[in-house]
């Protein structure tokens, strides 16, 4: 549970920042997917974009958590 918070929350913050920076520079209607213009409303793209950013950041946090876990584990077994 605590791990879930440690993964979801920082990635949420990073997701918010990424969303803000990205979409203040890029207009969703200019985006293309596999050469096709996206046929979605702007709010749809904003929402999906946000969750995409969040998901990627969460994946990174999860990896960090997982790697750190291994290190702490080996340290405590050495001691």
Partner 1 sequence: MRHPASGLPPAPAGVSPGGSDSEASLYEVRQKIYPRAVHGWFARWRIALVLATQLIFYGLPWLVWNARPAVLFDLGARKFYVFGWVLWPQDFIFLTGLLVVSALSLFLFTAVAGRLFCGYACPQTVYTEIFMWIERMVEGDRMQRMRLDRGPANAVRLSRKALKHGLWIGIALWTGLTFVGYFTPIRTLLGEVASATLGPWETFWILFYSFATYGNAGWMREQVCKYMCPYARFQSAMFDRDTLIITYDAQRGEPRGSRSRSADRARLGVGDCVDCGICVQVCPTGIDIRKGLQYECIGCAACIDGCDQVMDKMGYARGLIRYSTLNAVAAKWDVRRMWRRVLRTRTLIYGALLLAITCVLLGALYLRTPLKVDVIRDRAMLARETRDGMIENVYRLQIMNTSERDRRFTITATPESGRAGLQVMAAQPVAVAGAHTASVAVAVRADPANLKPGTYTIRFHVEDADDPALKVDEKSRFYMR
Residues in touch with partner 1 (CB under 8 A): 1-2, 5-6, 9-10, 13, 20, 23-25, 27, 41-44, 46-47
Q: Which is nearer to partner 1, 13 or 55 (CB)?
A: 13
Sign of CA dihedral 32, 36, 37, 41: negative
How far, in Å, CA of 76 to CA of 74, rounded? 5
Q: Which is nearer to partner 1, 8 or 56 (CB)?
A: 8
Q: Is 38 helix (H, G, I), strand (E, B) or coil?
A: coil
Residues found in the chain: 79
Kindly state the smallest distance separating residue 16's Cβ from partner 1, in Å: 12
How far out from the chain centre does Cα 30 lie? 22
Q: Which is nearer to partner 1, 5 or 34 (CB)?
A: 5
């Amino acid at each position: 549970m605590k791990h879930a918070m440690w993964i979801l929350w920082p990635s949420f913050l990073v997701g918010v920042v990424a969303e803000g920076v990205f979409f203040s520079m890029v207009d969703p209607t200019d985006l293309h997917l596999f050469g096709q213009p996206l046929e979605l409303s702007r709010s749809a793209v904003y929402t999906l974009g946000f969750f995409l950013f969040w998901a990627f950041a969460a994946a990174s946090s999860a990896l960090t958590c997982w790697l750190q876990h291994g290190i702490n584990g080996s340290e405590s077994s050495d001691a």
